[in-house]
A and B are shown apart, each in its own frame.
Chain A
């Protein structure tokens, strides 16, 4: 076997186990991080309920798609969950607007220190949401993806290319990456080109000035929650299709999502996306066992005997925390200068 084939095999291996998973995980985090960024920019608090809201959105999708499957309303090739998303979106939007009406609106009206009160209130919402999800679906893990699992599988890829190592492209990965691109494009178009989007940016930059120029604050907040519902539901569903649904895991997503937002710079949408991919790639690159990869690349005498894994998989959440700490120590503003000090 020639060396160049070995190198191609090694990179096929890396694509299959690192690049594709990290791209889709990064896209899921990015959507969640954008939702946090939106809430932060307009409502001025860090939304601790994000992880559990994603679980709530996913729960709606699971329930609706379950009903659809029982009626036989499916599409060939893709999970029924995709069909259920529009309906779930409506439910999610209603839930978030209701929470805003019942919980957050009051603190906007009395002009409380929104960051600290908002966090406390969102922790309350987090527990209510988490409790509802666990009550309805239980706390154990479940899978809800149906339809074809792969766009092309390892075997098909091997047969096609004749390589020793194959690449599988999962349907969930395809959906994640393409939907994420669509949503991000939509968000940037919306914020840059439409009148409502511009109003939102103005409100975020300088609330007083925006109010003076006749922007309706209630409308801005409502549109924000609608966008949050969109991003939250889709991020949650995609994560669930990829890795299965478990409420506790969604709750813990809070940490990588916050790490993404802070690494990128709080309040900056581009930063949130960059941060999400940084976190996702670090997590997977550091927990991947490089043994097989190195065997392809190194001569026989240097083959590693251990797994060559930098950090055990069980500590993957620690990675986002360490990234967070490093950023806070070196550059608290994040990559794309965000807001560092409380702006009340």
Chain B
């Protein structure tokens, strides 16, 4: 590990890239606003954690996960389930019924699998499973109806367990790992693209379930007011030490003003600073998690286990001839990577403070994470982090840049020209084209990315 850090700092390229990135972000902070710069940094950190998970799958083992958003959404769900207070009324009304329905569903599936193992007549099994399904569905829809009718404007769902939010990050990872285990178990060992297609499918289904099952996490009605692991802006504004601290920072400027102006100015500063402070708290939290994950995965990668993983990736046939079980190895890695994506998903919802199912747009974010990993250099964890920062920065700033470009054009065009409005309306779709082009260009001209994998030689 120490060696690893050393090689990182000795690598002038990596240091240079990160320095440039830092300078650019400081520039944004000075010129636009610190809240914006910190917003970009926080989202980049979350993306970096997600990219780390994908890098473990793709970079370490060549496994394609096209359903990143689905696993991230599972992390988000776990935040709601863990941190929200239970809705006592709904639990009383329909909780037991729903529990029975779910148990019945699980029992049907288990029975089907067990009977199948025994080699009992396929038609009999089908009949049993179908009957079980019909009963489950009947109970289930009744229970869902009851729960959704409990004060639908505010709750209409079961709520969560009311536990500390930090707990949900772990649970998010575990749930995502469970889904990944199931998908991996079925598709790994078959063709590479089966995994890709299955992850695409499972993530769509996860999103459909979240959007449609209101009793579960309120569906399209969103969940607001999730608890926070950091202080609220309002509390910060009212706390004395924070006000004094801000006054101390700006003391030279404030001294020049009159009494009333001083107070007014100070309130402005405190309000701005509270936002920045809260964002900084999040940054600290995310950095701590990211760093510990990187440390752990680097340790793992340099252990005998990591050598085995890379050996399998670089030459599957040879590794298999050496007696390594490739399928179970791939399953381990796939589950591990998805768990990290789940954790990142939970962090994302924690950061937003609300859970919005429609925010999970597979088209955009799955793809962005992919571009981050490939741009940064697949197989290199620091590369993924760098990729996350660069791509998220471009993604956020290309919107305003595109609009600015359009406005430049508009100076040469007639006022209210219809083609101009048309472009302004749709210019953000060009970001997809732009990102696609970046992906293809890197794949074509620099397949190992900005920071190529270091320890290719074992």
Interface residues of chain A, those whose CB is within 8 Å of chain B, are 45-46, 48, 102-103, 106, 115-117, 119-121, 123-128, 130-132, 134-136, 138-139, 248, 251-252, 254-255, 258-259, 262, 266, 310, 312, 314-315, 317-318, 320-321, 324-325, 328-329, 332, 339-342
Name the A residues within 8 Å of B420 (CB-CB). none
Give bound CA distance, A60 to B442, whole Å: 29
Give bound CA distance, A79 to B426, whole Å: 28
Q: Are A127 and B205 in contact (CB under 8 A)?
A: no
Shortest beta-carbon distance from A293 to chain B in Å: 17
Closest Cβ neighbor of A46 among chain B residues: B193
Q: Are B436 and A125 in contact (CB under 8 A)?
A: yes
Q: Are B196 and A127 in contact (CB under 8 A)?
A: no
Q: Are B440 and A124 in contact (CB under 8 A)?
A: yes
Closest Cβ neighbor of A47 among chain B residues: B193
Closest Cβ neighbor of A341 among chain B residues: B191
Q: Are B367 and A252 in contact (CB under 8 A)?
A: no
Does B132 sit at the interface, judged by CB under 8 A?
no
Does B433 sit at the interface, judged by CB under 8 A?
yes
Does B21 sit at the interface, judged by CB under 8 A?
no
A116-B64, A314-B212 are known contacts. Are A134 and B440 too (CB-CB below 8 A)?
A: no
Name the B residues within 8 Å of A328 (CB-CB). 186-187, 190, 194, 198
Name the A residues within 8 Å of B211 (CB-CB). 314
Closest Cβ neighbor of B362 among chain A residues: A251
Residue A46 contacts which of B197, B431, B435, B444 (CB distance < 8 angstroms)? B197
Does B272 sit at the interface, judged by CB under 8 A?
no
Shortest beta-carbon distance from B298 to chain A in Å: 25
Name the A residues within 8 Å of B208 (CB-CB). 314-315, 317-318
Docked complex: B195-219 residues within 8 A CB-CB of A: 196-198, 200-202, 204-205, 208, 211-212
What are 9 A-B interface contacts by the 8 Å CB criterion?
A123-B66, A126-B436, A128-B436, A131-B432, A131-B434, A255-B204, A315-B212, A328-B194, A332-B194
Give bound CA distance, A103 to B429, whole Å: 21
Q: Are B201 and A340 in contact (CB under 8 A)?
A: no
A135-B430, A325-B198 are known contacts. Are A127 and B190 too (CB-CB below 8 A)?
A: no
Q: Are B205 and A318 in contact (CB under 8 A)?
A: yes
Q: Are B363 and A135 in contact (CB under 8 A)?
A: no
Name the B residues within 8 Å of A342 (CB-CB). 191-192
A interface SS class: helix
Q: Are A131 and B440 in contact (CB under 8 A)?
A: no
Closest Cβ neighbor of B62 among chain A residues: A116
Q: Are A131 and B431 in contact (CB under 8 A)?
A: yes
Name the A residues within 8 Å of B71 (CB-CB). none
Shortest beta-carbon distance from A143 to chain B in Å: 20
Name the A residues within 8 Å of B444 (CB-CB). 103, 106
A255-B201, A342-B191 are known contacts. Are A121 and B443 too (CB-CB below 8 A)?
A: yes
Give bound CA distance, A15 to B196, whole Å: 36
Other 14 A-B pairs with CB < 8 A, given A128-B440, A131-B433: A102-B440, A115-B191, A116-B62, A124-B443, A127-B435, A131-B434, A131-B436, A314-B208, A315-B205, A315-B208, A317-B204, A318-B208, A325-B186, A339-B191
Give bound CA distance, A262 to B363, whole Å: 23
Name the A residues within 8 Å of B62 (CB-CB). 116
Q: Are A248 and B363 in contact (CB under 8 A)?
A: yes
Name the A residues within 8 Å of B439 (CB-CB). 120, 123-124, 127
Closest Cβ neighbor of B141 among chain A residues: A306
Interface hub of B191, B367, B374, B435 (most chain A Cβ within 10 A): B191
Q: Are A103 and B440 in contact (CB under 8 A)?
A: yes
Closest Cβ neighbor of A332 among chain B residues: B190
A115-B192, A328-B190 are known contacts. Are A120 and B64 too (CB-CB below 8 A)?
A: yes
Name the A residues within 8 Å of B435 (CB-CB). 127
Interface size class of B (residues with CB under 8 A): 35 or more
Q: Are A321 and B202 in contact (CB under 8 A)?
A: yes
Does B230 sit at the interface, judged by CB under 8 A?
no
Docked complex: B402-444 residues within 8 A CB-CB of A: 425-427, 429-437, 439-440, 443-444
Residue A324 contacts which of B192, B197, B430, B436 (CB distance < 8 angstroms)? B197
Give bound CA distance, A139 to B428, whole Å: 11
Docked complex: B50-106 residues within 8 A CB-CB of A: 62, 64, 66
Closest Cβ neighbor of A116 among chain B residues: B192
A127-B435, A266-B191 are known contacts. Are A119 and B196 too (CB-CB below 8 A)?
A: yes
Q: Provide the B160-178 mask, 1 if CB < 8 A to any CB of A, else 0.
A: 0000000000000000000
Closest Cβ neighbor of B138 among chain A residues: A306
Give bound CA distance, A315 to B137, whole Å: 14
Closest Cβ neighbor of A308 among chain B residues: B134
Name the B residues within 8 Å of A46 (CB-CB). 193, 196-197
Q: Are A317 and B66 in contact (CB under 8 A)?
A: no
Closest Cβ neighbor of B204 among chain A residues: A317
Name the B residues within 8 Å of A252 (CB-CB). 204
Name the A residues within 8 Å of B64 (CB-CB). 116, 119-120
Shortest beta-carbon distance from A324 to chain B in Å: 6
Does B34 sit at the interface, judged by CB under 8 A?
no
Give bound CA distance, A266 to B193, whole Å: 11
Closest Cβ neighbor of A112 among chain B residues: B447
Name the B residues within 8 Å of A126 (CB-CB). 436
Q: Are B200 and A254 in contact (CB under 8 A)?
A: yes
Shortest beta-carbon distance from A122 to chain B in Å: 10
Q: Are A251 and B363 in contact (CB under 8 A)?
A: yes
Q: Are B204 and A120 in contact (CB under 8 A)?
A: no
Give bound CA distance, A102 to B443, whole Å: 12
Shortest beta-carbon distance from A294 to chain B in Å: 14
Name the B residues within 8 Å of A320 (CB-CB). 201
Give bound CA distance, A103 to B444, whole Å: 8
Does B370 sit at the interface, judged by CB under 8 A?
yes
Name the B residues within 8 Å of A138 (CB-CB). 425-426
Name the B residues within 8 Å of A312 (CB-CB). 212
Name the B residues within 8 Å of A266 (CB-CB). 191
Shortest beta-carbon distance from B69 to chain A in Å: 13
Closest Cβ neighbor of A261 among chain B residues: B197
Closest Cβ neighbor of A131 among chain B residues: B432
Name the B residues within 8 Å of A124 (CB-CB). 436-437, 439-440, 443
Give bound CA distance, A109 to B403, whole Å: 40
Give bound CA distance, A123 to B197, whole Å: 12
Name the A residues within 8 Å of B425 (CB-CB). 138
Residue A340 contacts which of B66, B191, B204, B437 (CB distance < 8 angstroms)? B191
Q: Are B430 and A117 in contact (CB under 8 A)?
A: no
Closest Cβ neighbor of B133 among chain A residues: A310
Q: Which 10 A-B pairs have the closest CB atoms?
A: A131-B432, A128-B436, A127-B436, A131-B433, A321-B201, A134-B429, A46-B193, A135-B429, A124-B439, A124-B440
Give bound CA distance, A121 to B137, whole Å: 42
Residue A123 contacts which of B204, B205, B370, B433 (CB distance < 8 angstroms)? B370
Give bound CA distance, A71 to B202, whole Å: 46
Interface hub of B66, B204, B436, B437 (most chain A Cβ within 10 A): B436
Docked complex: B129-179 residues within 8 A CB-CB of A: 137
Name the A residues within 8 Å of B187 (CB-CB). 328
Q: Are B429 and A123 in contact (CB under 8 A)?
A: no
Name the B residues within 8 Å of A134 (CB-CB). 426, 429, 432
Shortest beta-carbon distance from B198 to chain A in Å: 7
Name the A residues within 8 Å of B430 (CB-CB). 131, 135
Shortest beta-carbon distance from B82 to chain A in Å: 26
Give bound CA distance, A123 to B438, whole Å: 12
